[in-house]
Structure 1
Amino acid sequence: MAHNRAGKIAQPEDLINVDAVTSAYYDITPDADNPDQQVSFGTSGHRGASLDGAFNEPHILATTQAIVEYRAAQGITGPLLIGRDPHALSLPAWQSALEVLVANDVTVLVDAQDGFTPTPAVSHAILRLNGPEGRNGRGEADGIVVTPSHNPPRDGGFKYNPPHGGPADSTATGVIQDRANELLRSGLAGVRRTTGEKARAACQAYDFTSRYVDDLADVLDLNAIKSAGIRIGADPLGGASVDYWGAIGERHGLDLTVVNPDVDPRWAFMTLDTDGKIRMDCSSPNAMATLIAARDRFDISTGNDADADRHGIVTPDVGLMNPNHFLSVAIGYLFAHRADWSPDAAIGKTLVSSSMIDRVAAELGRTLLEVPVGFKWFVPGLLDGSVGFGGEESAGASFLRMGGTTWTTDKDG
């Protein structure tokens, strides 16, 4: 049963105390023998709440050290790109990670504007740096994104993307998770760390925004969108895409309005999700209620989760579309209009996605690649071009550039 205030603007009693959440990050020491307080990588990194002893500074120090050791064992010697979203715990976790990375002599690239960085922008940057024009004799790059995605404001998240740019596979996350928990049990013995001031001074700037926005014309027919005069409303839902949408509209001359440019770690402007919690779930009609109410202002509207790896689409006639519906339409359009994609390029979907996609694939005469839940399963195919489109039931997807080469290997909302 839905909460009686689902779809309504959050009230003061629904909001987190940011000071309490961030203080708990530093003050609470997790119990390394309690499974609920150990590092645990799910389908998209380690997530938890500082107030529960599940996302605290020891977790991040240990996990970052484990990542440093993992990348060294894999021979990864290039720079590490690190981004973060607006969750209250993302900034302190980002700072903790920098202190460990720099102490271990890792070259760290951070956003040039000291802003928020969506997951797809980090994936795009990793692939760009690892491409023929980006290497310049350096070792391969990898990355970290500090985000719990659409989770409530009290939560934090931390995920690792290896040089292929996508989510780390189970083998990698298993090694990192186990080593992090070993470090937790040892009282962080073996964790190298420098001061915050020295760490920040050692970081190098990387312009995530411009490089992503400039390259966007390689994957989307932006001239067609512009010439059609489509009025677009983009709601970042207070997430990391907040500066990207305005830059996209300006750079490519689109009729695009950023519906809500506000950023607030409490997400006080959000409507409550179905269970009465604040959650930036762009596939939920209750979380998207504000954008749905404004649907007549635009020809099409879109909303993102906090790290912009998922999206929801709102139209004047339907309201919030079913993700499986618009993914099916996108697949049909792309495979009919991308002449330079391999004729053998497959359509990727997760097991729980709609069989509607199966029928679209059959009509197109394309191979259907059905995988377990988790975008990591699409990474190899998106890298070598054997998968043209990979999408999940939660409206997270990526597809190839117009020329049939890789765009991102993580979801791009």
Structure 2
Amino acid sequence: MLNKVITVPTEETKTSPWANALKLGDLQNRAADPLDADIYKAKIIDIREQMGELARASTAPTVVEFGTSGWRGRIGEDFTLHNVRKVTRAIIDTMRTPEFLAANGYNSFAEAQEHGLVVFRDNRYMGDEFVDAALAELHAAGIKTYSAGECPTGVGSAVVTELRAAGSLNFTPSHNPMDYAGLKFNPADGGPAGPEITNLIQNRANKYMQAADFKPAEKIDPTLNEKIFPVYIYLDFLQKSQIIDLHKIKELLLANKDNLTIIIDNMHGSSRGVFEAIFGESIINQLDIRFKNTETDYSFHGVKPEPSAANQKPLIAELQKSTKPLTLAAALDPDADRIRFADADLDIDMNMFSAIALDYAIKQGLSQGVVTSVASSGFAAAIARQRNLPETAAAVGFKNFRPALAQHEAAVAFEESDGISFIGHTLEKDGIIGFLVALSAMLESGKNLSELYHELQEKYGYYYPGKSGRTIEGISITEWQKFRKDVIENIKASYKTG
């Protein structure tokens, strides 16, 4: 029985109950006493249910903005069932436009209706309710749907192309914390919709937000809805991969079963069960492979659910206890479009892994080079230049990689925020294929990722990707200049080579 008294934050309660939930989440994560953690979690649940009731009942409009990865908002504040219906209606209207039909190879809206949309979600609170609201709108417009349930973003992207669907609705705010929900629309090629499509959706959605006479669709039409099992469709998709050989991976896993420790942090997300399905129970049961955070937890045990250095620390600590020569950890965000790696010796973010991935692609005989965002490390690009391979820098947002990937001009596409894809794979970032490439590179070389990375540094040069920040207040210009000089000198002292 929970009867312990604790202090609960009350700041911003009137304007944002979610602000208190996030503070409680931090307290839950840091609580030394399990009883305290349970109390904080119970209070988070109370706030979440309160916001859920608002999300179900509110008809208040919001301003819809499609950013680099769709529309996102706080549950119960701007992301409500009513507003989801309006945005879905805007997507339907966009599918009727000449711009959408021409870009996706349809002569009429009737063709798009027949090809249908794949609808799926990550593990967020109210996910099924948001999906059902969208399904009702789509069916009222006569659009066939494929219901994929909880499904990773990259898997859903592959399903779109395998089923030759007209696109997908993906309910996810990616790596955002517990208070957020989101909606992404991808067209028929499975990649993120570009501004030529999202601007149309956004404009129509905001018009619906101001419409006083909006009447939502009332029910799902079972005759237009087909339930699918996306991982098995994804397995068929992987058989055509240009970057990995799934049969070979399975053989090498069994050959190295006594030498290997693998940890996968599913972060309570949609990657749960995916790797088990890919490798099969008979192989999984022979491996030292450990899956973390597989249970449903809408508050993500109080942490921001992103692949980060802080979230990697417990994985690395566990790997360091292993006596096996090969170690690999991977953390995926809730929709599994972002991934970060580690072994017992090194935390490996995407800026670092991209160099390993490009080198692996080159060893597979691929010569298309790399495309990355301008904010990413230059190491992979330096490798491409030294190998006389093309390298391209695009604006931030994976949708800006579409031309290079669609035209097979890049073997590897990555962004520093832990997203990656490969030639012949999806036009969407996919942490699942990222893991399979990391596993292939390690197993085929017999070396840990840290060893492969250090070898690349010795061969191509030393790059030190990383980011940090500090709030500086109340100091003079002279003190600031001294602080900046000290930081630079410390960096030079820490990284003498390169």
- Normalised by the length of structure 2, the TM-score is 0.70
Counterpart in the other structure of 2:199: 174
Deviation for aligned residue 1:231 = 3.1
Q: Which amino acid is 1:154 matched to?
A: D
In structure 1, C-alpha distance between the alignment counterparts of 2:313 and 2:345, rounded to whole Å: 15
In structure 2, C-alpha distance between the alignment counterparts of 1:308 and 1:327, rounded to whole Å: 17
Matching residue within 297, 314, 318 for 1:264: 297
Matching residue within 100, 103, 122 for 2:156: 122
Change (3 A) 1:188 1:292: farther
2:271 is the alignment partner of 1:241: yes
In structure 2, C-alpha distance between the alignment counterparts of 1:353 and 1:88, rounded to whole Å: 32
Q: Equivalent residues in 2 for 1:32-43 (5 A)?
A: 37-43=62-68
Structure 1 unaligned regions, length at least 5: 32-36, 131-139, 273-277, 401-405
Deviation for aligned residue 1:160 = 0.1
Moved over 6 A (4+): 3-7
| SS of equivalent residue, structure 1 residue 54 | coil
Q: Equivalent residues in 2 for 1:4-153 (5 A)?
A: 8=30, 11=37, 12-13=39-40, 15-16=44-45, 17-31=47-61, 37-51=62-76, 53-73=77-97, 74-75=100-101, 76-77=112-113, 78-111=115-148, 115-130=149-164, 140-153=165-178
In structure 1, C-alpha distance between the alignment counterparts of 2:311 and 2:262, rounded to whole Å: 19
Matching residue within 356, 359, 384 for 2:407: 384
Counterpart in the other structure of 1:231: 261
| SS of equivalent residue, structure 1 residue 161 | strand
Matching residue within 378, 387, 390 for 1:355: 378
Q: Identity across aligned pairs (percent)?
A: 25
Ranked by relative contact order (alpha carbons within 8 Å, sequence separation 6 or more), the top structure is 1
Matching residue within 413, 426, 429 for 1:411: 429
Counterpart in the other structure of 1:275: none
CA contact (8 A) 2:27 2:40 kept: no
Deviation for aligned residue 1:201 = 6.1
Q: Which amino acid is 1:13 matched to?
A: Y
| SS of equivalent residue, structure 1 residue 288 | helix
CA contact (8 A) 2:73 2:180 kept: yes
| Higher-Rg member (1/2) | 2
2:317 is the alignment partner of 1:293: yes
Change (3 A) 1:245 1:193: same
Change (3 A) 1:289 1:8: farther
Q: Which amino acid is 2:154 matched to?
A: P
- Normalised by the length of structure 1, the TM-score is 0.83
Change (3 A) 1:252 1:383: farther
Deviation per CA, 1:54-90: give whole Å up to 9, x if none: 2112221111011111112233331100110111032
Which protein has the bigger helix share?
2
| SS of equivalent residue, structure 2 residue 159 | helix
In structure 1, C-alpha distance between the alignment counterparts of 2:29 and 2:392, rounded to whole Å: 36
CA contact (8 A) 2:331 2:340 kept: yes
Change (3 A) 1:325 1:164: same
Deviation for aligned residue 1:121 = 1.0
In structure 1, C-alpha distance between the alignment counterparts of 2:281 and 2:196, rounded to whole Å: 40
Q: CA RMSD in A?
A: 2.4
Counterpart in the other structure of 2:395: 372
In structure 2, C-alpha distance between the alignment counterparts of 1:384 and 1:160, rounded to whole Å: 21
Deviation for aligned residue 1:7 = 7.1
Change (3 A) 1:303 1:313: same
In structure 2, C-alpha distance between the alignment counterparts of 1:199 and 1:22, rounded to whole Å: 25
2:421 is the alignment partner of 1:394: no
Deviation per CA, 1:302-354: give whole Å up to 9, x if none: 11001000101121112x323211111111111222x2x4x4x2311100000
Deviation per CA, 1:358-405: give whole Å up to 9, x if none: 2111122111110010001111222221221110001100002xxxxx
Counterpart in the other structure of 2:336: 308
Deviation per CA, 1:206-241: give whole Å up to 9, x if none: 220111134335432332442444432212110011
In structure 2, C-alpha distance between the alignment counterparts of 1:313 and 1:54, rounded to whole Å: 34
Change (3 A) 1:57 1:358: same
Change (3 A) 1:359 1:81: same
Q: Which amino acid is 1:242 matched to?
A: R
In structure 2, C-alpha distance between the alignment counterparts of 1:349 and 1:7, rounded to whole Å: 34
In structure 1, C-alpha distance between the alignment counterparts of 2:256 and 2:117, rounded to whole Å: 40
User: How many positions carry a matched residue from both structures?
Assistant: 371
Change (3 A) 1:44 1:289: same
Change (3 A) 1:407 1:20: same
In structure 1, C-alpha distance between the alignment counterparts of 2:150 and 2:399, rounded to whole Å: 23
In structure 2, C-alpha distance between the alignment counterparts of 1:368 and 1:7, rounded to whole Å: 42
In structure 1, C-alpha distance between the alignment counterparts of 2:427 and 2:213, rounded to whole Å: 33
